[in-house]
Chain A
Amino acid sequence: MILLGLVWLGAVAGCTSDDPSAVGSGLHDLGFDLVLQPLNTDQDAGFAALTIEDPDIPVSRQEVLYLGEQGGTSSSILVNFDFDDIFNEDFPESLFTAQNIKSVKLSLTKLSFYGTAVVDSSDTTGATGSGVTTIYYSFQLLDAPFDSTAFPGPVPPGPGGELVKGPLDVLYGNEPLIPLYPEDFLDWIAEGGTRGFLISAAAGSDPGLVGFASRDLDSYNELDDVAVGTVVAPNLVVDFESEEINFLLPPVADTSTFDAVAPAPTDPTDGFILRTGLRSYPVLRFDFGGLPTNAYINRAVLTVTNDTTTSFGNFHSLVVSELPVDLYTVPSDTLTLAELADNTYVVTGQTSLDPAFNRLLRFDVTQAVQRMANHVYEGERALVLTAGEDFAPLYDQGSLDPEFYFSQFDFLGFGAPDSLRPHLEITYSLSDSLLAGDGGEGE
């Protein structure tokens, strides 16, 4: 009998109940006055375009050298070669004669994203990597070796004169070899010393910024397969009549000039940008004045529209983070990457966004808006859009940091039509019970 009783107790304690159903519904007193309220909020007067600098990786230390012009930004490549003490046991001075030198070429290694196929005449942007930007390479001497700390900045002066043999020839492949005059090379080694050179895109080149490997490149996954022994920096390659092996002279310094950088708009009415390479991140601040006290945020979505006709560059993660508004000044400011990392609280993000394809971008910022609505912070907070930086590991794909690729998302501004302008779609609920009376108190 006792045993039977225990079996019974065990059976009814064994979670054998039916799942909750509508049986009994409608009897309870408690009611959530649930009305899902839509609220479209506009920006407050807190927009800022932040320039983010990374002192550890100046332009001259970037892994990629950029050549060309796109979206108001133009860049050439500067290289310094040291012609002192270039001879050795394998390549004695006796080899370097006009009779024995078959050719001298400048070699570049293009990143695979910028394509290696034959030119697609229908691709006029050169931005997507689906085609190839045609470049007519120009190689000129500078008056002096360049100063690596001067960039981004204007192209240093030079005496002029084209050093490329056949400058209007189209060079295909991911390792263009630009022919030079052997006599010039012999003059440079005869005089010795360090010389600076300018590599630029000559008139007639397609628009578009194209990236090449610099002497600092470590991310070899971004390159197509290259020939054995290839040194991926801009090199001078000498081919001898008498030798089967080429002589290769690497640069002692290289850099992109970024002699013209499109300014990030500080008035978001007509648009704003998010840029990698030379980082520029927009900060948006919204007006929550229309949000009732004690609203529960069921959903908050930040929507921005990317102008795919002008945006360019490689795929990127985009991340939305909270940023204290007292950290920056409007309408623009400059922060270090460390300052940004120390002061952001990552909310959400998306990965693998194509600047030339992904148009409507929606970010779930529910938790951030709930925090702001709850006034959990001292001071105000804004939302900053960044690329996949190290401080957002969930969205920091691969080993590439955002300074690697120069890409730009052009977003439509607050002057755009309602459905296209940046806005927050907030869905909230209210409890009248919580609001009623005067007995409420915060805890």
Chain B
Amino acid sequence: MMKRSILILSVLSLAWSGTAGAQTPLALGNIGQRLDNEDARMIGRGGWGMAVDDSTHPGFKNLASLYAIRKVALNFSVFGDNAVSEDDHGERTTDQVFTPDIRVALPVIKGRLAVTAGFVVDRSTQYDTSVDSTWQVWEDEINGQVQFLRDGSMFRVPLGAAFAPWRGLSLSAAVNMQRGTLRESLYDVLRDPASLVGIPLYQTNLLVQEDTYSGTSATFGALFSPLKGVRFGGAYTPAFDLDVARKLEVGGVAQRRNTAFTLSMPAEIRAGLAVTLKGRWRMGADYQYQDFKDFRGNEAWAADMETEHTLSLGLERHRAHERHGGMGNLPLRLGVRMRTWAYKVGGAPVDETTFSAGTGFPFHGDLGQLDVALSYSMVGDLEDNGMQSRIVRLTISVTGLERWW
């Protein structure tokens, strides 16, 4: 039954999801929006998960926490969101479905050593604009639109291992194959004048710039439990380089321009705390820091670079097994996340605040769980950034556990 559910949800999510990820005009420039790629359990409680230690519900945010698994774990998430974006030109509503995260972990020595792999989208940019425009040539006034589409993501394929050398401490290391693409398409649609059958007399301009990223990074993690009910987690990703192959082409022109350059990505630090409270409750906090003022490789972006940092806070009530407990047995999660983006827009930093809530449904025999989270994000500020987005997102994650050997 569980296998069937996982299969159905996997197929549906992959079928629905597209290449999008971020859908705010604030991601139309620079390095793009950092995605919330945690599973629905973490998102529901504000995003914290660096200090998770749960063999039946593993978290992949800190790979060091995977040491505890005793079964093969599969986790994937899919989200659907509705964004309302606003600037001086008005308001626009967009919808999308996306799969930012697919993970698997395998126990090697149960409770001590595990290996993991996956696919994680870290940054994304997806938005399009259309502006009515007029051009003049010969005796013709040409009416049309300037349309721009930015679409792409930076993702990684982490291959890692978690090991607990002794009780209360686990360590992890992962090699991340960093990949991604960023495609920007600019159309000058010269719509009128047109022939009697509606074919424009002047052909549309199309300029496409496509960047392909490739590189390798490493992430080192640790999970430490000095006291019962208190856990600390941390991860460090040293600075790394991304090789970028850029192809620029104009539709209809044989000549292309191929260039190559390197993006130097700054180091990233993540730290987290989880504390068990009274009863079924626990609370946690995560902090993420990446100083993009150290970013190099794109002079056009350099002036706007900021320090990206994220603070996640939340509460979680564990599920219970009370007979006739009903809804009271379900887990309950609440949280808030505050993030400052890696770059400014409109001369001011971009602040993103997300409020979230969620719950989950265990599979029979504790062989996994289906989690859902509903979140509301406020991205940017109309006054400071010239635009803002308000995003309602439903995230569904499936975690499956199987004894495959």
A interface vs B, CB < 8 Å? 1-2, 5-6, 8-25, 27-32, 34, 36-38, 293-299, 364, 366, 370, 373-376, 425, 427, 429, 431, 433-434, 436-437, 439-443
Contacts and interface: CB of A to CB of B under 8 A. Distances in A.
Nearest to A295: B253
A99 to B, nearest CB: 68
A336 B146 CA distance: 49
A20 B95 contact: no
Given A27-B345, A425-B138, 5 more contacts: A11-B80, A12-B96, A24-B127, A36-B137, A296-B203
Nearest to A294: B255
A91 B252 CA distance: 74
Contacts of B372: 1, 5
A9 B253 contact: no
Interface in B196-238: 201-203, 205, 207, 209
A121 B352 CA distance: 88
19 contacts: A2-B396, A6-B12, A9-B394, A19-B130, A22-B130, A23-B129, A24-B28, A25-B129, A29-B29, A296-B252, A297-B203, A298-B190, A299-B202, A364-B201, A370-B253, A433-B209, A437-B257, A440-B255, A443-B258
Q: Is the interface of B mostly helix, strand, loop or mixed?
A: strand
Nearest to B259: A439
Interface in B241-278: 248-259
A9 B13 contact: yes
B250 A23 contact: no
Nearest to B360: A1
* Most chain B CB within a 10 A radius of its CB, from A14, A27, A29: A27
Contacts of B78: 9
Contacts of B289: none
Interface stretch (B51-59, B84-92, B113-121, B160-168): B84-92
Given A12-B96, A296-B205, A443 B387 contact: no
A23 B387 contact: yes
Contacts of A294: 250, 253, 255
B28 A296 contact: no
Interface residues of B, number: 70
A8 B394 contact: yes
B186 A24 contact: no
Contacts of A20: 92, 128-130, 147
B300 interface: yes
A370 to B, nearest CB: 6
Contacts of B400: none
Nearest to A10: B16
B95 A17 contact: yes
Contacts of B394: 5, 8-9
B11 to A, nearest CB: 12
B257 A440 contact: yes
Contacts of B17: 13
A441 B258 contact: yes
Contacts of B190: 298
A36 B142 contact: yes
